[in-house]
A and B are shown apart, each in its own frame.
Chain A
Amino acid sequence: MLLTPSRFALAALLIVSLAPLLEAQETESRRGQGQIGLRVGYYNTDDSGDGNPFYDESLTVIEPVVFFSYYATHSTNIHGSVSYDAVTSASIARLDDYEFTGATGSTYIAQSGASGDEYIGVNLGVLHHWSDALTTDTFGSFSKEYDYKSIGLGGSISSDVAESNATITGSLQLFYDELDIIRFTGNEEGIDHRTSLATTLRWYQILTPEVHGTLGVTLGFQEGFLATPYNGVVIEDSLLPPNPHLDNQANGLETTEVLPGTRTRVTAFGRYRVSLVSWLAGELEGRLYTDTWGIDSVTISPRIFYWPIPDRLRLRLGYRFYSQTPADAYNEHFFAPERYRTQDSDLGDFTSHTVGLQLRYAISARERVDIGGDFIFRSDYLDQFVASIGWSHDF
């Protein structure tokens, strides 16, 4: 049997995740300890004629997540999460409209990223401390929405070095996704697949008694159907009459989005945090990204962690700058059906500024609540708001 990279990764993950179950030795100190928590997230993008000029890209998502972590033995921790999404999006409304009225009768123009109004995801992992210096963590995941199923496997191995002044972590993630190809017209074109493989090497280092940080590199590879099936692209032609299916009634015809079948992605990232005084810490995070679709991006994110009431109330203030170049296949306007084509605003050229605030309050030594929100201001005016409220309890 051919040992492909995917099969090798799968075998390695299975060995690492099952081995802890065979371990006989254990002590009592961590056994039975754990954490349970709940988080409810809210996300909203309001399209007021911004972003893609032809389509409405508005989207609202509400997601509750339940997560847990439990030490079954002193050295083996089982962790997982279950999440459910309720989604309201312009693209769902558009598909519904096509379904009920037929393409020619539809006047609702939309393309916002979701084709179903529900999503459920389950994630289960096993973390094992092989020694004081060596830890492995593996996970499996499954998620499902109306036209999308995904199975994920992954793992990481961490080793402390230099008298625990540094930790080196290598990780691997593999996702196999199955997509129902449902076009913006509602036409169904069967099933296709997408495989994503990513590996990350991360280096944690204590720099001084007040500063520590992380550096890393991620190399990712994707193949298969990488376009978004229901995304449309408008081929403009001044000789055609105004198209009633388009947000701006442009003269043109819609066709499908087409993107290359492979994508290689490289990310370099780093994060440093410095303790300024006993109730104040500062952090700087940065990221450089490039891929074979032509997108380059830079991210810079400073944060302040402030404890107005030590050990009780924490305030996190953050800013994030993000800028990306467009994918080679992206164009705001097409006048001929190029081989690769997309008008997805998220693959376009834009800069965003995010400001966020989070308050975390410790009800007791074992119980915390937090609430926070981020406003994202994009240069293409597809502004977004993300908020969440969480509770967690250690046992």
Chain B
Amino acid sequence: MLQEARIPKFAPRSPRLARLGVACVLSIALLSGCHTVEYYEREALASPWMQFDEDPAEIHWLEKTLFTREGSVGGVGTSAGGGCGCY
């Protein structure tokens, strides 16, 4: 009797995960290769219009309304699921 081949449940997803992983590793490698920017060169980066300074309450609000109406989670400004209080 032929035995049905056991295919790991995760297998169909692995090509996509592998692409994600490769993209991340390449991106991080590119970033780490950048030259050092000295303190005295950071005037523009220190200016108010360059700050990643979203209000935590604004992030909280978007997380539980806008982003929870999507199937995906995580990333900049969003938590990784759980805790609900979402809609």
Contacts and interface: CB of A to CB of B under 8 A. Distances in A.
A107 interface: no
A207 to B, nearest CB: 5
A30 interface: no
A81 interface: yes
Quick one: which of B16, B37, B57 has the most chain A CB within 10 A? Answer: B57
A266 interface: yes
A113 B9 CA distance: 30
B31 A196 contact: no
Contacts of B42: 206, 209
Interface stretch (A6-14, A61-69, A181-189, A249-257): A61-69
B13 to A, nearest CB: 6
Residues of B contacting A: mostly: loop
Contacts of A158: none
Contacts of B49: 275, 279-281, 305, 307, 314
Interface residues of B, number: 56
B87 A113 contact: yes
A372 to B, nearest CB: 8
Interface stretch (A18-26, A159-167, A238-246, A332-340): A159-167
A270 B70 contact: no
Contacts of A297: 70-72
Counting chain A CB atoms within 10 Å of each CB, the highest count among B24, B37, B83, B85 belongs to B83
Contacts, number: 233
Contacts of A214: 52, 76
Contacts of B79: 173, 198
A37 B57 contact: yes
Main secondary structure of the interface of A (DSSP, over half): strand
A83 B60 contact: yes
A288 B52 CA distance: 20
Given A177-B82, A386-B62, A81 B57 contact: yes
Nearest to B51: A273
A321 to B, nearest CB: 12
B3 interface: no
Nearest to A320: B66
Interface of A: 37, 39, 41, 43, 45, 59, 61, 63, 65, 67, 79, 81, 83, 85, 87, 89, 112-114, 119, 121, 123, 141, 143, 145, 148, 150, 152, 162-166, 173-175, 177, 194-198, 200, 203, 205-210, 212-218, 220, 222, 264-271, 273, 275, 278-281, 285, 287-293, 295-297, 299, 305, 307, 311, 314, 322, 324, 327, 346-347, 352, 354, 370, 374, 376, 382, 384, 386, 388, 390, 392
20 contacts: A65-B61, A81-B57, A113-B87, A152-B83, A165-B34, A196-B80, A198-B74, A198-B82, A206-B42, A215-B24, A216-B75, A220-B81, A264-B10, A268-B23, A268-B24, A270-B27, A279-B49, A292-B9, A376-B66, A382-B69
By Cβ-Cβ distance, the 4 closest A-B pairs, closest first, are: A196-B82, A198-B80, A175-B82, A267-B74
